[in-house]
Amino acid sequence: MELQIKNVSKSYGKSKRALDNFTLTLTPGVYGLLGANGAGKSTLMNILTDNLSADKGEILWNGENIKRLGKKYRSIIGYMPQQQGLYDSFTANRFLWYMAALKGLKKKDAKKQITELLNIVSLKNDAHKRLGDYSGGMKQRVLIAQALLGEPKLLILDEPTAGLDPKERIRIRSFISEIAADKIVILVTHVVSDIECIADRIILMKNGHLIGNDTSSGLISSVADKVFEKKCSKEELPEFQRIYSCGNVLQRDNGIVFRVVGEECPEGFEKCRDSISLEDVYLYYFEYEKN
């Protein structure tokens, strides 16, 4: 099972190029897609789900162009949108039956899958409750359930933990890990800790380009000599934040630590020797402006 993105470009008008010769090959596993706003993530997702056509390049599923595969390709996709566009008057059960019909599932298959999925996402006991009465986490879980209808091989989840409390985020992260064994799962998120926990590989996008594709530990190693820190007082903090635009504040047992990323160690700082995280990677690739 393989998804190939080959030299894909997409522009909006004459000035905005959302994707620029983007090339990537994915095999089964969880991929975290990370990038700042405007990086091209949404455009890429729309092209992968066949909701948008590229200006140039092609998408291949197991070596075949998805445009030629058409409906056959779309049948293997499960997509969870970022926006919770749910019908508040529907129950979870009714909503899943509705989505199963849209996906063309046979009644027998739909009944079996809906029963299983409600159990998997722990909504069996709330299946006949109105979606308008659901919590944010419950809505996210029912959206994941609809994405899994039809037993998709390619699963695209756009901000699945957005707006959730820590307990719900952990629960959904664990669930994604459990279902990912025989699928290509693309997880789009701004919550760095989510993909650091569960992604097999992390894809970095910037200005429509692929700038990184590695494991979490590999990316962290790539910035190991570019992270510096210094202890500071609460009174000094505002001045530090003014001088160093790309910084992170950490609370430690012995006080506040101000951390920056860059090519050279600022005066008075020292190289960070431990606890470097994917947040530091994000700051380096997306916030720090290289000369």
Q: Could you tell me if 231 and 171 lie in one domain?
A: no
Q: Could you tell me if 147 and 238 lie in one domain?
A: no
d(CA 227, CA 273): 9
Q: Could you tell me if 144 and 260 lie in one domain?
A: no
215, 235, 258 — which closes off a domain? 215
Please give the tally of structural domains in the chain.
2
Q: Could you tell me if 238 and 179 lie in one domain?
A: no
| 49-97 per-position pLDDT tens digit | 999 999 999 999 999 999 999 999 999 999 998 766 788 999 999 999 9
Confidence at residue 84, expressed as pLDDT on a 0 to 100 scale: 64
Confidence at residue 222, expressed as pLDDT on a 0 to 100 scale: 93
Q: Could you tell me if 190 and 269 lie in one domain?
A: no
C-alpha dist (Å) from residue 88 to 44, 125, 160: 29, 18, 19
State the chain's mean pLDDT as an integer.
Answer: 90
Domain range enclosing 10: 3-215
Residue in 58, 69, 77 with CA at minimum distance from that of residue 5? 58
DSSP codes, 61-97: ETTEEHHHHTHHHHTTEEEE-SS----TTSBHHHHHH
Q: Could you tell me if 211 and 233 lie in one domain?
A: no
Q: Could you tell me if 165 and 50 lie in one domain?
A: yes
168, 183, 215 — which closes off a domain? 215
Q: Could you tell me if 63 and 205 lie in one domain?
A: yes
DSSP codes, 41-55: HHHHHHHHTTSS--S
Q: Could you tell me if 261 and 118 lie in one domain?
A: no
Mean pLDDT of 185-201: 87
